[in-house]
Structure 1
């Protein structure tokens, strides 16, 4: 695993998955490697009431009902669509579900404007076709077709980013559970094996880019993943991801709880400001998601480790926040400047602590970018 920049969940948590599989005596749908209860336990972590002999770490932080509904959907013959704002953990949840159910989360199609039907069906090895003609051997299956043949979970990231003809091709796969290969005279249908399903993700901010047709919507069960606004849950997510970052980079650097509180409060303040804004020009372009919060902290940690005194400071955190969130000039810079003067400055006088240094660092960062 140390040779991989980012190990997929089934490799990263292989030991946990092996152990869960060895003690799992629950009923398993189709070709699932774990029972639904064990899939939930793997994702949400173990509790004392589970009565197992070891602790299983929590990997996704959110309402357990979202996970349970996702698992139930995948045990049926319908696709699962995880929809929500950027950075709400949709892709991570999809990866964990695939890893627990199929032990393979890498059968992924990335939806873009350039995604074609070939990406979700099949293409051809041109040199083999020229040499031997079209056959099953010269066919290159898509990740979705491979999932069908294996009875596994296929993933489709950013479904609404793909064009309508690609979405239409997915309708027949979800409905008929087979792909026809008209170029072949025989052996020209690939049937899905039991256990096959599709987990798609969609960004709710992409509404209007390539809206899903009613026909495609009917083939999916929707699970909406909200932005995490509970401070305790958000703090747990940020700590979890930060610990992973420190381990991956082998960094020994302490993140003071007071600075984590400053980061959480800053995002809460900016979200409240965005909610009260009357127009898009008065809102930051950033979705202010938990993922972006983690990105700000990651940037600050790496900067402190490589260019600082190996100590995370409020000044560095403020600089990272401004650098990460100021995407439009001058709109975002004006919004951040208003926040520093209208909210952070009074708070630094009243509460003290890390806020005065945070204010100073934010002002310096804005001055540099202006």
Structure 2
């Protein structure tokens, strides 16, 4: 079934694994959870020899164990969970994995934007049915959040701070009272949340000031802050994990040399350090330089090599993808990258050799083309 989908949700992609974990899980489960909290953690972080399982469970989210445990405890307490952090820190992926493990449904999602309305988190109406038969529960269109309430499962709200304050305020009664009133109906006009219902929201810390959360809404969420991954080992594991998924999905047989992966990680580390020491925003790349963007650069280089190259990933191709992905503003970003290439990459290529000279040439050519 997963072969028929461009991107299968976690509960579909890992269905066999979840079925097996559920069959051997004898731990206590809150509400109507499909897995116990220990098994939810194990599904997300992977198994260890000390777990004593007959089957190895691979790690799917790479980050501090305490973040996952606090998120699980929050959901077990029926409080709302807010995952907050910089772009590309894996907030949405963690929310999807939590939902898949707890209730086997991660698709009840509201995407927060400036155009999100209260109807998107409560309900709307099927106009043709209302005209034909009047307003009733049958003519009502439940939102993903209301559907989660009725089923006693997890509802997700992506980019909460991107939605306006009146939309955010509509969540307050849902999180505190655990029901939604339908004043248009005389009977059957309240939808109560069933045990197991909760909301996992995500927020981009760079959106601070766009639509700040009210103090009332903040009190109804437990905050889990997800930091940018800076540990080289963890970052390598994340990039390798996502790259292997890409290669499987596209049925591509292509090796990613460890030397090129090291160059990619080092380049992002250098650019992050430069951004931290920059005196103004004009001296920083617009990119957040997240792990997700590293994966995007590598994905671009792999696909370019596969379709337009000789199916071999080269340092030149990697440099071209990096510059092309990060040069979003012209001329500001190009100037920053050009400075980095001359001030850091060129001396390193002379001192270390290896793939760095080819990386230097590939970046120079791309910068010249874009300038």
The TM-score, its normalising length taken from structure 1, stands at 1.00
Residue by residue over 1:133-179, the C-alpha shift from the partner in whole angstroms, topping out at 9 and shown as x without a partner, is 10001100000000000000000000000000000000110010000
CA distance in 1, matches of 2:237, 2:286: 25
Give me the whole-angstrom Cα distance separating, in 2, the residues matched to 1:19 and 1:55. Answer: 11
5 Å-filtered alignment, 1:2-13, equals 2-13=3-14
The question of 1:30 aligning with 2:31 is answered yes
Q: How many angstroms apart in 1 are the aligned matches of 2:277 and 2:360?
A: 22
Match of 1:188 in 2: 189
Q: 1:77 deviation in Å? A: 2.4
1:177-326 → structure 2 map (5 Å cutoff): 177-326=178-327
2:143 maps to 1:142: yes
Structure 2: how far apart are the matches of 1:245 and 1:53?
A: 28
How far apart are the structure 1 equivalents of 2:336 and 2:360?
14
How do 1:16-95 residues align onto structure 2 when only pairs under 5 Å count?
Answer: 16-95=17-96
Once residues 93 and 253 of structure 1 are traced to their aligned partners in structure 2, the CA distance between those partners, rounded to angstroms, is 28
Q: Give CA-to-partner distance per residue, 1:260-305, whole Å, 9 cap, x none.
A: 0000000000000001101000100000000000000000000000
Secondary structure of the residue aligned to 1:2 is helix
Question: For residues 311 and 78 of structure 2, what CA distance do their matches in structure 1 show?
Answer: 52
In the alignment, the residues of structure 1 paired with residue 3 and residue 142 of structure 2 have an alpha-carbon distance, to the nearest angstrom, of 30
Give the CA deviation at 1:78: 1.0
State the distance in 2 between where 1:368 and 1:59 align: 38
In the aligned structure 1, how far is the partner of 2:32 from the partner of 2:78? 13
Within a 5 Å distance, the mapping from 1:93-172 to structure 2 comes to 93-172=94-173
CA distance in 2, matches of 1:312, 1:113: 40
In 2, the alpha carbon distance for the partners of 1:232 and 1:40 equals: 21
Q: Deviations over 1:224-251 (max 9, x none)?
A: 0000000000000000000000000000
Which whole-Å deviations, capped at 9, do the CAs of 1:34-71 have from their partners, x for residues lacking one? 00000000000000111111000100000000000000
CA distance in 2, matches of 1:70, 1:30: 16
Q: What is the TM-score when the length of structure 2 is the normalising length?
A: 0.99
Answering whether residue 310 of structure 2 is matched by residue 340 of structure 1, we say no
3-state secondary structure, aligned to 2:4 = coil
3-state SS of 2:3 partner: coil
Give ranges in structure 2 of 5+ residues lacking alignment. none
Aligned to 1:363: 364
How far apart in 2 are the matches of 1:138 and 1:51?
51
Q: Equivalents in 2 of 1:341, 1:176: separation in Å?
A: 59
> What's the CA shift string for 1:72-97, capped at 9, x where partnerless?
00001210000000000000000000
Which secondary structure does the structure 2 equivalent of 1:261 belong to?
Answer: helix
Q: How far apart in 1 are the matches of 2:151 and 2:32?
A: 9
- Tell me how many residue pairs correspond in the alignment: 370
Q: Give runs of ≥4 in structure 1 deviating > 3 Å.
A: none
Query: Post-superposition shift, 1:317?
Result: 0.2
Distance (whole Å) between structure 2 residues aligned to residue 93 and residue 343 of structure 1: 35
